[in-house]
Amino acid sequence: MTTIQDVARHAAVSVSTVSNVLNGRGDRMRPATLARVEAAIATLQFRPSKSAQQLKTGQTPLLGLLVPSMANPMYGYIAREVETFAQERFGYRLLIGSTYRDAAKEAAFFEDLRAHGVRHVIVISSLAEERHLDSAVARGMNVMSYDRRAAPGRPSAVGHVTPDNFEAARLATGHLIAKGHTRLAFATVAGMTMSRSDKIEGFFAAADAAGLRASAKVLDGGPLNEYGDSVIAEVGRATGLQLANDSRRATGIVALNDLMALGLMAGLREGGRHVPQDVSVVGIDGLFLAALSDPMLTTVQLPIRDMARAMVEQVMQAGAGAEALARERVFSEVRLIERESVGPPPRPARSSPMTKARTAKK
Amino acid sequence: MTTIQDVARHAAVSVSTVSNVLNGRGDRMRPATLARVEAAIATLQFRPSKSAQQLKTGQTPLLGLLVPSMANPMYGYIAREVETFAQERFGYRLLIGSTYRDAAKEAAFFEDLRAHGVRHVIVISSLAEERHLDSAVARGMNVMSYDRRAAPGRPSAVGHVTPDNFEAARLATGHLIAKGHTRLAFATVAGMTMSRSDKIEGFFAAADAAGLRASAKVLDGGPLNEYGDSVIAEVGRATGLQLANDSRRATGIVALNDLMALGLMAGLREGGRHVPQDVSVVGIDGLFLAALSDPMLTTVQLPIRDMARAMVEQVMQAGAGAEALARERVFSEVRLIERESVGPPPRPARSSPMTKARTAKK
DNA sequence: TTGAAAGCGCTAACAT
DNA sequence: ATGTTAGCGCTTTCAA
């Protein structure tokens, strides 16, 4: 390994001179000296050791990113945006970890980040609590949390960036209502996170506003056990299959996210139902995969790239002043992408005691 | 930050004693001493600094992983498997980088890995050349390359793990032939990598064996510009759309991979063709997404997890002996998963001059 | 059984 | 304009 000593020797200068050029202080020396040093660096292909620099400065250009699973296309997409921006804007690299929604793995990852001296971390946790994040902050980390709002009341030192989940679900539900659906459902998985409850509230808010609250219901597809990649789609499929055999099922369904929606459609189809003729489905996320399905999935697009950038920008705030870092940003730029998975509700096969007022437009 | 000094002071021992317990040499001291040290470590929540350790030992528990794009579900899946195994088996964390298939970005990532002292790296490159990998090896890195075989003739210092792409494509093509298809095509993107050419050869080998070579063709959907996440599916869609309007199109298509196949199906449908009634499609990869489409995609499952583990295991070989490290492993455990996207060919609309012998079974 | 001390590669005072 | 040097947190001889 070539060191700063080698360079100094090769250029016949002292190590501090080399260090000066490394740190952009080339103006402190004669041009000829600078040139010699630069030549030596190039010749020897010298790259200063990050660990030595870190030991000295306490800084390391590494960003920690914690996700439930990298195999989930949504997190893969966020991760890529975070990584790209962190690299382009700050020259940081990404130290990533999948936690499988496990508290112990999450804690272990934080411990390792700390040991590595990583002081900037973005967390996409599906744990209910987030106190462990505060303790990370207490140890000097800048942490940003994705997809949840600051817990009300309890002042937090961690920053928050989240899409407007309430609005996203409201929009999705409103679209179904506008198409004439009166029997609505929100399909989710077991376990209540802030993001999920916000969506559920948005769902009910839209139903309420249309006087459809009584028939609106939440479908819990069960737990997300094991490896969290495809499983949310599997839960969706199971829910879809079950729904297919339910004669009193909702005709308009909002899914927790696109993967769940895709699974839902597969399950519905497996059960012999057609989307959107028998049931309409709308997702939330706006994954590119939603444009590939048959029928193409109508979904609510979230501003992923903007959020990724905002998280990076904020987590990098040098000051670490709690004011700036602990800010909460809710991104409301959610928009409905109408595709093919939503249509008018089927006309009721027979008189249903559930039928509400306003008999859908023909 | 609490250091080994703090622990030593707190336990009233020297730093070397603390270091000894950190490095599993607790047997060198009196149990009471060990206990005191351990208590101090726990009380102070001490974690030794990785950068200090690295500076001293030259080792860092970080694995570099280079992928074209983390937003691609296939790479996300591989990355997760690599990460999980590296963590569980070796206690390593993952330093990941998306290269967008760009040589400069790839080189920059390697430079950074070197600066960080990372000595183990797994590369999924879509660059034609791989000399840059050899130079990384020359600088002391252990590198494993995924999805390509060692260049024949030129002895390489980098290890190789790859699925049997020839066999995967042969299997996919053979399935189409068994179903009666005589007009075959292989849908790919612009740019020839070793993996792609192996698949194409497997495709032709199967066609040849059935006397179908003359009508078998390769469809090049064009370049994969920009951000490589959804774009391969977009190329697939464009190819599918074009195919839909081609009256002399193949009836059985093998796609480069599942994402391309999914796009292909979307394009075909957009163009008014039905899968599998008008055209049969088979993918390669075995992504969970392939089970979600309508029709569900018939595909060739690759042993991703096994390959991920093999790569990690091999890249970690301490010896760095070129013999063990530069090994090439071709995983032939590929198997066809029959789903719904393949059926018998449509009966020819009218006499076609192309029609080969053996008029498909009814 | 325990401790003292050198040194890994670098940065940044502080000389000169 | 350039050089000397202390020291970041740790591991590891070598001594005691």
User: Domain with A79 in it: what CATH number?
Assistant: 3.40.50.2300
Count of other CB atoms within 10 angstroms of residue A191: 14
Q: How many domains is chain A partitioned into structurally?
A: 3
Among candidate residues A177, A203, A187, the one with its CA nearest the CA of residue A268 = A187
Q: Measure CB to CB from residue B71 to each of A76, A96, A117 and give the nearest one.
A: A76
CB contacts, 8 Å: A274 with chain B: none
Chain-centroid distance, C-alpha B47: 34
Task: Check whether residue A65 and residue A135 sit in a common domain.
Answer: yes
Of the candidate ranges A273-277, B135-139, B351-355, the one whose mean pLDDT is the lowest? B351-355
Q: Do B98 and A117 make contact, defined as CB atoms within 8 angstroms?
A: no
Residue B361 has, within 13 A of its CA and on its CB side, a CA count of 6
- Residue B170 shares a structural domain with residue B295: yes
φ, ψ (nearest 5 deg) of residue B332 = -100, 5
Specify burial of residue A252 (Cβ count, 10 A radius: 0-12, 13-18, 19+).
buried
Chain A interface includes B232 (CB < 8 A): no
Residue nearest to nucleotide C5 (CA to C1'): B16
Tell me the pLDDT band of A264, cut-offs 50, 70 and 90: very high
| The pair of three-digit structure tokens given for residue A192, joined into one six-digit string | 């209540």
Chain A: closest CA distance from residue B107 (Å): 13
Q: Annotate A60-115 with DSSP letters as a single string.
A: --EEEEEES-TTSHHHHHHHHHHHHHHHHHH--EEEEEE-TT-HHHHHHHHHHHHH
d(CA B151, CA B158): 10
Are A185 and A232 in a shared domain?
yes
Distance CA B158, CA B138 (A): 10
Pick the more confident residue, B133 or A126.
Answer: B133
Residue A299 has pLDDT above 90, yes or no: yes
Q: In this complex, do A55 and B77 lie within 8 Å of one another by their Cβ atoms?
A: no
Q: Does residue A252 sit in helix, strand or coil? A: strand
Mean pLDDT of chain A: 91
Contacts of A260 in chain B (CB under 8 A): none
Same-domain status, B32 and B84: no
In this prediction, residues A26-45 reach a mean pLDDT of: 96
What pLDDT does residue B322 have? 59
- Quick one: A157 and A219 in the same domain? no
pLDDT tens digit string along A308-318?
A: 999 999 999 86
* Chain A residue nearest residue B114, CA to CA: A47
In a domain, B349, yes or no: no
Cα gap A335→A331, rounded to integer Å: 11
Q: Which residue has the higher pLDDT, A123 or A353?
A: A123
Q: Is the residue at A313 inside a domain?
A: yes
Please tell me the distance in Å from A129's CA to the nearest CA on chain B: 21
| Rounded Cα–Cα distance for residues B289 and B77 (Å) | 12
pLDDT of residue A107: 94
Say whether both B154 and B67 belong to one domain: yes
Helix (H) or strand (E) holding A234: helix A231-244
A80–chain B nearest CA distance, Å: 5
**A237 and chain B: CB distance < 8 Å anywhere?**
yes
Same domain, A173 and A299: yes
Nearest Cα to A34, choosing from A50, A51, A17, A46?
Answer: A17
pLDDT at A1: 87
Cα B172 to the center of its chain, rounded Å: 19
Which has the higher per-residue pLDDT, B267 or A226?
B267
Position B352 in a domain: no
| Substitution target from A224, A292, A294, A337 for chain B, most B beta carbons within 10 A | A292
Between residues 288 and 307 of chain A, which touch chain B (CB distance below 8 Å)?
288-289, 291-294, 296
Residue B191 lies in a domain: yes
Q: pLDDT at residue B120 above 70? A: yes
- Determine whether the interchain pair B51/A47 forms a contact, defined as Cβ–Cβ distance below 8 Å: no
DSSP-assigned letter for residue A290: G
- As a whole number of angstroms, the distance between CA A268 and CA A242 comes to 8
Q: How far apart (Å, rounded) are the C-alpha atoms in residues A63 and A68?
A: 17
Q: Max alpha carbon distance in chain B (Å)? A: 95
* Domain identity same for A180 and A203: yes
**The amino acid at A135:** S
Q: With 70 as the cut, is the pLDDT of residue B354 above it?
A: no
Inter-chain touch B55–A49, beta carbons under 8 Å = yes
Q: Quick one: B213 and B314 in the same domain? A: no
List residues, Cβ < 7 Å, touching strand D: A 12-17, 20, 28-30, 32-33, 52, 55-56; B 1, 3-5, 15-16, 18-20, 22-23, 46-49, 52-53, 55-57
Query: Cβ atoms within 10 A of the Cβ of B352, count?
Result: 11
Residues B227 and B118 in one domain: no
Q: Which domain holds residue A323?
A: 59-162+305-331
In this structure, are residues B180 and B358 in contact, taking their beta carbons and an 8 Å threshold? no
Determine, yes or no, domain membership for B29: yes
Structure tokens at B26: 């607790």
**Which residues, listed in sequence order, are joined to residue A146 by a DSSP beta bridge?**
A161
The answer to the question of residue A250 being in a domain is yes
Q: Same domain, yes or no, for B228 and B299?
A: yes
Q: Which of A250-264, A322-336, B189-203 has the lowest mean pLDDT?
A: A322-336
DSSP one-letter code for B149: P
Residue A2 CB-half CA count within 13 A = 14
Residue B74 domain flag: yes
Strand arrangement of the beta sheet that strand B217-220 belongs to: B217-220, B184-188, B252-255, B280-285, B298-301, B335-337
Kindly give, in sequence order, each residue whose CB lies less than 8 Å from that of residue A356, ignoring residues fewer than 6 positions away.
A182, A211, A212, A214, A215
Buried residues in A338-357 as b, exposed as e (16+ CB within 10 A): ebebbbbbeeeeeeeeeeee
Q: Which residues pair with B162 in a beta bridge?
A: B330
Residue A189 located in a structural domain: yes
* Identity of residue B230: S
Which range, A40-54, A339-353, B147-161, has the best average confidence (pLDDT)? A40-54
Query: What type of residue sits at position A304?
Result: I
**In the predicted structure, residue B358 carries a pLDDT above the cut 50:** no
Residue A59 beta carbon within 7 A of nucleic strand C: no
- What DSSP line would sit under A192-228, residue for residue? --HHHHHHHHHHHHHHHHTT-GGG-EEEE-----S-T
Contact B265/A71, CB-based, under 8 Å?
no
A48 touches strand C (CB under 7 A): yes
Please indicate, yes or no, whether residues A170 and A294 belong to a single structural domain of this protein.
yes
